[in-house]
Structure 1
């Protein structure tokens, strides 16, 4: 096939997983980042071409021009794979322009952003009969009283724009235990000029977090899907997946698949749910609109989401497929899982025995692969350098 795959963001293992998923199928992969530093994903032997582009946020106009100029030189339109939320935001802003040069699954400009915006997403979910955590907006009348009556403490202060919040605070949200902490969190968000909402915490340990991972074709119909259960995340309780297992939960298809089809979604999406420990009901937490953290684990159980995307957009779609059984294979991000385990045990949320027993199952590493060692070696070197610099500062 003449269509190249342009992968945006290779300084994280999601980009690396997309490169491997496509490269193993013989697709010409183009690793794009704004710097060589830290872009360990681009070192994969499955990288066909490596490019340094202007920064997607600091030099947005130059970045878009760079992408268009590259596509003009190709014999066929490349397929575009943004592997970070910030790249998705920029792609969405220039979607109509970029679709003249690239194959992109989404056709409705603004839909990516709507699904990433927590407040808009929750409104859409409520309108379509999907449970979401009780939410209070900070500009509502009797705001503090509504927190006391509806939300109660502890609760979470969440951004409507996650990428900007994470870039500023290096965390996904603030957990607050009383009114004083709530006001402090709101003040931090206000000083950063970031909009936030306040939500009830759905009861249940981190293993009550589930995902519905799906691909929807250009008719906005689910063609490929599976479900997973998180076991550990980092930071603990409100972080990203570091140990997640493929597990069949059929009711998530009924909820998630129906919702995505109603939204007219096209391409890959992952809905995160939390199962209420008291009621057993599933609550929609967020939607990831780019390839997921455990994309490579999905590949190893038989769902190559990047290749599914590539094949449909280039005119030769793969047959529909779903996983209606449990494989038990786990995604494992060793480094951050070690940090998470330390904190789970320290806070007495897990025992060493529970952790030890969880490791006796087939696992897919986030970064390391024996047949493609360079990215893993570069990552170890990068982490080692951080430790050395930290020690020298002491």
Structure 2
């Protein structure tokens, strides 16, 4: 759904757009700002066919760039950059740099070189002490044969499950490896009093625009993508993010997730996503128009970028708020105390009253929200 703020941002500035998807009727197609659409193969089933179809669209004389909306896009645009750059200008990291953030072991090494706090990280098959508080998660943001030799050629997938391990218990290593198709990582659990996002658009190591928000609620009480966020500026967070991206000589979009350590106050790195982010409507609502920034850089207008934004702008994801509430009823963690149901409802209604802005509910373009709600209900009833 982050494609919608891209569409709206560019279309309202008179820039023609071409929406491409493997789905026949994604919610964004219901927007009145839609110009043209194209059907793509499913990237998780045939990544090369997906790439070939995108290259075919990029070769059109009226297409000037391609915006990476998800991990598969960032991967395809970086791995096959030479094929795309025959026709369009991209703002994406080279493959070696992309690997350094898609592989959380390499990311941990880069963070250490940059002097940026990161949880103790090691492969699961090297972990032998379970007396502390740990979580098990995928080593890779995206699974492909480029990263995991045993993964089926030409396919792509993600392993999003995060296992919170009870102190003193040894997790089932074989089952975790089998379920994730590779040896995942173990990270120490970080007690947090706040989650934050730093977003940036970089030009070969130099920031063109940056943005921060505090994630007040995620789609689960134990973590996840932000569903209630408020724009902020924290100098220490800016310094930590810039140090990491400078170490990586970053180029392109970066969405970096941080936890503020409840005991030390340090901003501890969680992950880096090299694409547009789930909470993009919140970013644009605060005035940080990253879809337009990307277009400006790709078309040689980087000097026209205005990176300012408003502080204190809060936004909600309606579907995400429902997911958070469901997590309070269903999820469980030995490390995070479950919030009370009534208190959760009070906080949700209070924040919605104080910050009554909801993703995809623009009065002049409600078709996207309606289509998305219809699909959500349909999927839940299946």
Q: Which TM-score tier does this pair reach, normalised by the shorter chain?
A: 0.7 to 0.9
SS in 2 for 1:26: coil
1:296 maps to 2:281: yes
Mapped contact 1:329–1:363 kept (Cα < 8 A) = no
Secondary structure of 2:186's counterpart equals strand
**2:375 alignment partner, one of 361, 370, 382:** 382
1:104 aligns with 2:90: yes
Matches within 5 A, 1:206-217: 208-217=194-203
Distance 1:260 1:104, change over 3 A: same
The answer to whether structure 1 residue 348 and structure 2 residue 339 are counterparts is yes
Corresponding pairs, count: 362
Q: Aligned ranges for residues 169-318 of structure 1 at < 5 Å?
A: 171-178=160-167, 180=169, 182-184=170-172, 187-205=175-193, 208-217=194-203, 219-318=204-303
The one-character-per-residue Cα deviations of 1:323-379 (angstroms, maximum 9, x if unpaired) are 48x622123111221231343478325713333332233344222221111111111
SS of the equivalent of 1:302 reads: coil
- Show structure 1 runs of 5+ residues with no match: 1-12, 390-394
Structure 2 SS opposite 1:285: strand
- Deviation larger for 223-232 or 312-321: 312-321
Structure with the larger RCO, 1 or 2 (CA within 8 Å, 6+ apart): 2
Tell me, yes or no, if the aligned pair for 1:225 and 1:321 is still in contact at 8 Å.
no
8 Å contact from structure 2 (residues 215, 228) kept in 1 = yes
Q: CA deviation at 1:173?
A: 1.6
* CA RMSD, 1 decimal: 2.4
The CA deviation string for residues 202-253 of structure 1, in whole angstroms up to 9 with x for no partner, is 1025xx1111111212x42112112110011113222111111111212111
Deviation of residue 321 (structure 1)? 4.2
Structure 2 residue 137 is the aligned partner of structure 1 residue 158: yes
SS at match of 1:202: coil
Equivalence for 1:53: 40
Deviates more, 1:267-276 or 1:65-74: 65-74
| In structure 2, distance between residues paired with 1:220 and 1:136 | 28
**Structure 1 residues 342, 109: closer, same or farther in 2, change over 3 A?**
closer
Matched, 1:144 2:133: no
Post-superposition shift, 1:194?
A: 2.2
Quote the Cα distance in structure 1 between the aligned partners of 2:140 and 2:205.
Answer: 25
